Amino acid sequence: MKERKEYANQILKIADWKHTVTIRPTYKVNAVSGYNLVQRLANKIKSIIYFTIEKDRDSNHKHLHLLLDKQTSIEEVYKKLRMNKDCITYSEPLNSPKDMAEYMNKQIDNNNINLHHDLCLPN
C-alpha cells in the first residue's frame, strides 16, 4: 500500500495533470493494443498521457484509465481515436490529481497480471 502511494506521488511529478478519461473499447485490450491506442491519442491531441489497463469486474474485458496534462472532451477523444462515443465512459477535469493517481494504481502489485501501466509522450 505504501509503495503504491509513493508510486502515485512520483507520477504527479511527471506532468501537471489536468484531466482524466476512461475508455472501454469494444475489442479486447492487452498491453500492446492499449499502448498503441493511447500513443495515438497522445500524438493527435499533443498531450502527455499516463495510463493503466485493468480488468473489468464482471467480464474478461479490460478498460483504460488515463491522466492527461491538458483538458479534453469525450467528443475530441472518440473522434481522434475513431471510436464509438459509448467507448468513452468518463471524461472530467481533475479535482485531485493525487487521488486519481492513487485510484488508477490501486491494483499495482507483483501478482496482478490483469494490470498494465505506461506513459505516452506526443511526437
pLDDT one-digit tens code per residue, 4-56: 788 899 999 999 999 999 999 999 999 999 999 999 999 999 999 999 999 88
Q: Residue 114 in contact with residue 60, Cβ under 8 Å?
A: no
Determine the Cα–Cα distance for residues 121 and 40; give it in Å rounded to an integer: 10
Domain 2-120 CATH assignment equals 3.40.1310? yes
Residue 112 has pLDDT above 70, yes or no: no
Q: Residue 21 in contact with residue 77, Cβ under 8 Å?
A: yes
CA distance from start to end of the chain: 34
- What global pTM score does this model have? 0.92
Domain ranges of the chain: 2-120
Q: Among 54, 69, 57, 63, which residue's Cα sits nearest to residue 11?
A: 69
pLDDT one-digit tens code per residue, 66-80: 999 999 999 999 999
**Which residues, 6+ apart, have CB-to-CB distance to 11 below 8 Å?**
50, 67, 101, 105
